[in-house]
Amino acid sequence: MSSEEPEIVRELREEERSGRLRVHDEGGVDDVVVEDADESWSVGCVPTGGGKKPVNLGDPVVLYQTIFENSAVAITLTDENERLIRWNPYAERLLGRGRDDLWMLPVKSLYPAEEWAKIRFQNVRQRGITHHLETRMVRKNGECFDVDLSLSMLKDQVGNVIGSIGIVKDISASKSLEKALRRSEETFKQLYEKAPVLYHTLSPRGEITNINEQWSRVMGYPKEEVLGKYIFDFIEFSERDAAVRSFESKIASKQQFSQPTERMYKTRSGEERIFLIRDFLVFDENDAVLSIQTTMVDVTERKMMEKSLLERRDELEQVVAERTAELLQKNVRLHEEAVEHEQIETALELTLSHLKESQDKIQEQNRQLRKLDELKTNFLNVASHELRTPLASIKGFAQIMHERMIGEISDEQERGLTVVLRNVERLDRLIQDILDISRLESGTMQYKPEPVTVSDLLTEAVNIVKPLTGHRKVTIHADDCHTLQPLIIDKGRIVQVLVNLLNNAVKFSPNQSTISVRTRLQGDQVLFEVEDQGRGIPADNLEKIFETFFQVDQGLDRKFGGTGLGLSIARGIVDAHGGRIWAESTPGAGSILRFTLPVISQIEQSHSQQKEIKITSHR
Ligand code: ADP
């Protein structure tokens, strides 16, 4: 073929050479199997009839026409007015247009307006050369698609343009692949740049080839300042050697992923931050490491928190250990205390059982004592009565004799009878006292309450005592309180009390001294006072003198006689009246014995109640 051959012819030759056309060589005849060839499908096609039939490819026209018809690229021919006059079947499929649509169609309408403008701008027609460009075409339904377009001008012998041949390849698939790739690249770039973690890319030598925005922000370096620098320069000094070794071993291992490691980096401001590093090795087609993609997650705060949590845990463990030790100590102490308590309890139980035994013994003794007491009281009652009966007859006969009622007696007999009568009197007095004590103790003392004036009481008592005072020249001065209202009392018993106090006062008074008796009303009580100027009573005996048989002077050297029963009986009687009796004294200067009586005494109610009177033996 000559150089004037149309471009399409040259391209078809090329197709043949590349083997893309299926050629059958049978019996020395070059045949091409034309599939679905149909005279009717395009203007200017070789009329080959329907079905498959052998075509003589020895004829170059037939050959190229066959190629033309079977080409997998669209081939179009235009006339000098740029209207379509020929095309192959593939062109119809690609352009989505039928024969009637294409025949004499201005080629311009196959392109979107802006693409046609571009083609026009390149002025292919004028330049008259084969032109190759990527553009877009439009189908009948308006759908646009990407194409690779080769345009060749057809000229006559004198160089006039008589038409053009266009060869159109559908590149929409590769274009959309390209776009998808671009989009994915862009997405990746965005992810890389905008990711909230730090990204850097390293060369296999450890030089930084890229960092993302977060890296720049956290580490404080602008991108241009770090590119080309060694990553190790940003690692905290003490970890640098370890980081280099780890990096080298990762490169040597050729493992795409490696275990995440923690590294401490130093930011531009000198701050130390801990990152969790994950490396991803990228290899070239020869398996050599091309780059290392690294993500760095800032775990500084988490690490600090972990550290403080660990410290806190240690502290807590310490506290727990201390508390446990304390508790153990306390436990030991409690155990010891429990043992001690148990011992005390046992001792207490023992003591209690001893006490119980003692109590039982005491109760038994008390019971026996009460029995003895009863026996004693009974004995005293019986004995006193039995003693008083013969004493009464002794007294009676002695008095009859003393008063010479049965005949004259000599002076000596009279003196003797006087002594007998005095001692009978003393004995009777003693027996009466014992009987009184016995009655008081047993609660059988009888009282006869009656209205009595204080004045009567005093007169009677003083008259009884007066005979004892004469030879001693002791004066009794009674403060006669006539204004007092009568008391409801047992007159005889209260006179007995007063006589007892006056007897003691006379007994313990020095010669020629005065005994004062005073009375006064205190609320609903009358106070009686008997004051002497005698030797007094020691302070520690002021209470004891009211006990049965108690005497200040004890033993054989006592000078004053007496039985120690008088005050005991006095207290029993006063108590029975609802009063109170007590003593005051200035030893060496005198004593005051006082008692009170309610104006209306309680003896009606109380006289039968048993009064506890202590019976003690002081001799
Ligand atoms: P007694 O028969 O011994 O007088 P009392 O019961 O009347 O018995 O008195 C008990 C004791 O109280 C007396 O023995 C005496 O020691 C003492 N006493 C009583 N009154 C006086 C007093 N006025 N002065 C000094 N001592 C007194």
CA distance 225 to 312: 41
Nearest alpha carbon to residue 153 among 177, 129, 184, 185: 129
CA distance 164 to 83: 9
Q: Where are the beta strands (DSSP E) in 267-419?
A: 272-283, 289-298
CA distance 444 to 27: 176
430 pocket-lining for ligand 1 (C-beta < 6 Å): no
Of 504, 530, 533, 553, best ligand 1 pocket probe by most atoms within 8 Å of the beta carbon: 504
509 pocket-lining for ligand 1 (C-beta < 6 Å): no
Give me 543's structure tokens. 């209470």
| Lowest mean pLDDT, pick from 26-40, 241-255, 275-289, 339-353 | 26-40
- Angstrom CA distances, 105 to 44, 98, 148, 165, 251, stand at 16, 11, 20, 14, 63
545 C-alpha vs ligand 1 centroid, how far in Å? Answer: 7
Q: Amino acid identity of 510?
A: P
How much is the pLDDT for 383?
77
CA distance 224 to 436: 134
How much is the pLDDT for 10?
60
572 C-alpha vs ligand 1 centroid, how far in Å? Answer: 16
77 within 8 A of 25, measured Cβ to Cβ: no
Question: How confident is the model over 1-30, as a mean pLDDT?
Answer: 50
Q: What is the pLDDT of residues 533-550, one digit of tens each?
A: 999 999 999 999 999 988
**Which backbone phi and psi does 257 adopt, to 5 degrees?**
-115, 150
% pLDDT > 70, the chain:
85
Q: How far is the first Cα of the chain from the last one, in angstroms, to the nearest whole number? A: 179
User: Mind spelling out the 3-state secondary structure of 568-591?
Assistant: HHHHHHHHHCCCEEEEEEECCCEE
Half-sphere exposure of 86 (CA within 13 A, CB side): 16
563 pocket-lining for ligand 1 (C-beta < 6 Å): yes
Q: What single-letter DSSP state applies at residue 235?
A: B
500 C-alpha vs ligand 1 centroid, how far in Å? Answer: 9
Helical packing angle, 566-576 and 491-508, nearest 10°: 150
How much is the pLDDT for 613?
38
Q: What single-letter DSSP state applies at residue 98?
A: -
CA distance 437 to 184: 132
504 pocket-lining for ligand 1 (C-beta < 6 Å): yes
CA dihedral 119, 124, 129, 133 (to 10 degrees): -10
428 C-alpha vs ligand 1 centroid, how far in Å? Answer: 19
pTM for the structure as a whole: 0.45
* Residue 36 backbone class (left: φ over 0; alpha: ψ -120 to 50; beta: rest): left
How much is the pLDDT for 16?
59
Question: How confident is the model over 460-485, as a mean pLDDT?
Answer: 84
550 C-alpha vs ligand 1 centroid, how far in Å? Answer: 8
Q: What single-letter DSSP state applies at residue 33?
A: P
Q: Amino acid identity of 44?
A: G
Q: Amino acid identity of 137?
A: M
569 pocket-lining for ligand 1 (C-beta < 6 Å): no
CA distance 28 to 30: 7
509 pLDDT band, cuts 50/70/90, is: very high
For ligand 1, atom 14, name the residue with the nearest CA. 551
The total of other beta-carbon atoms located within 10 Å of residue 461's CB is 25
Q: What is the pLDDT of residues 302-318, one digit of tens each?
A: 999 999 999 999 999 99
566 pocket-lining for ligand 1 (C-beta < 6 Å): yes
9 pLDDT band, cuts 50/70/90, is: low
201 pocket-lining for ligand 1 (C-beta < 6 Å): no
617 C-alpha vs ligand 1 centroid, how far in Å? Answer: 15
CA distance 416 to 241: 146
Question: How confident is the model over 445-456, as a mean pLDDT?
Answer: 90
551 C-alpha vs ligand 1 centroid, how far in Å? Answer: 6
Of 429, 528, 550, 551, best ligand 1 pocket probe by most atoms within 8 Å of the beta carbon: 551
- Angstrom CA distances, 205 to 212, 256, 308, 319, stand at 19, 16, 37, 51
CA distance 128 to 152: 7
SS3 of 477, please?
Answer: strand
567 pocket-lining for ligand 1 (C-beta < 6 Å): yes
How much is the pLDDT for 609?
43
SS3 of 173, please?
Answer: helix
Say whether pLDDT at 49 is over 70: no
Q: What is the pLDDT of residues 479-493, one digit of tens each?
A: 866 666 788 899 999
Question: How confident is the model over 204-225, as a mean pLDDT?
Answer: 96
Bridge-based pairing state of the strands 74-79 and 161-170: antiparallel
531 pocket-lining for ligand 1 (C-beta < 6 Å): no
For ligand 1, atom 25, name the residue with the nearest CA. 536
Between these two residues, 493 and 14, which has the higher pLDDT value? 493
How much is the pLDDT for 605?
43
Bridge-based pairing state of the strands 525-531 and 144-155: unpaired
Q: Amino acid identity of 192?
A: Y
Q: Pick the atom of ligand 1 nearest to 567's CA.
A: 6
How much is the pLDDT for 66?
85
Q: What is the DSSP string of 139-159?
A: -TTS-EEEEEEEEEEEE-TT-
CA distance 66 to 21: 9
* Residue 523 backbone class (left: φ over 0; alpha: ψ -120 to 50; beta: rest): left
Q: What is the pLDDT of residues 364-416, one digit of tens each?
A: 999 998 888 788 777 777 877 788 888 889 999 999 999 999 889 999 999 99
Tell me which residue has tokens 């045949």: 31
604 within 8 A of 449, measured Cβ to Cβ: yes
How much is the pLDDT for 611?
42
Bridge-based pairing state of the strands 514-522 and 475-478: parallel
443 C-alpha vs ligand 1 centroid, how far in Å? Answer: 24
467 C-alpha vs ligand 1 centroid, how far in Å? Answer: 19
233 pocket-lining for ligand 1 (C-beta < 6 Å): no
Output the average pLDDT for the chain. Answer: 84
247 pocket-lining for ligand 1 (C-beta < 6 Å): no
How much is the pLDDT for 584?
97
581 pocket-lining for ligand 1 (C-beta < 6 Å): no
For ligand 1, atom 26, name the residue with the nearest CA. 537
Say whether pLDDT at 425 is over 80: yes
How much is the pLDDT for 2?
43
CA distance 388 to 435: 10
505 pocket-lining for ligand 1 (C-beta < 6 Å): yes
For ligand 1, atom 23, name the residue with the nearest CA. 505
How much is the pLDDT for 131?
75
CA distance 509 to 503: 10
Say whether pLDDT at 610 is over 70: no
SS3 of 203, please?
Answer: coil
How much is the pLDDT for 603?
67
Question: How confident is the model over 120-145, as a mean pLDDT?
Answer: 79
Tell me which residue has tokens 């006062």: 505
Say whether pLDDT at 139 is over 90: yes
Q: What single-letter DSSP state applies at residue 540?
A: G
How much is the pLDDT for 212?
95
